[in-house]
Amino acid sequence: MPAPELRRTNTILYCRRWAATVQFYRDVLGLAAHPLCDWFVEFRLTADSCLSIADAARATIAPVAGGGVTLSWQVADVVDFRRHLVDKGVTTGPITNRWGARCFFFHDPEGHRLEAWSPAALH
């Protein structure tokens, strides 16, 4: 059986701290919010990928409070992106060299780990 032809992806995070998590992705990371209802917000990451934040109190899926989840995002310039986060008061790890990339980690208010990276060749 051939692999499915994926057209669009959406990762959904079910959160206890829904309002704070939506605010983080909207106001701190600067992503455009597209509320689909009063407990579910979608953020467009690229033309074909989204991240949605759902209020766990209103959903049928239990939250994992960041357990076992890392969102890994390639950014244009990892140094500039980290500086932006630090200026917004976000605690980040140091930039390290791994897997041919420069990367660092940080967490959203729900505890989900995010990795930001850019190819080491750019630096």
pLDDT digit string (tens) for the chain, length 123 residues: 788 888 899 999 999 999 999 999 999 999 999 988 999 999 999 999 999 999 999 999 988 888 888 999 999 999 999 999 999 999 999 999 988 999 999 999 999 999 999 998 755
Return the SS3 of 83. helix
Q: 68-123: what fold?
A: 2,3-Dihydroxybiphenyl 1,2-Dioxygenase; domain 1 (3.10.180)
Q: Which CATH class is domain 8-60?
A: alpha beta
Q: 49-55 and 9-15: which strand pairing? A: parallel
What residue spans define the domains of the chain? Answer: 8-60, 68-123
The reply to whether 8-60 and 68-123 are identical in fold is yes
- Using CA atoms, how far residue 49 sits from 12, 13, 73, 88, 116, in Å, is 11, 14, 11, 25, 16
79, β-bridge pairs: none
Distance CA 92, CA 32 (A): 22
Residue the block writes with tokens 């995002």: 73
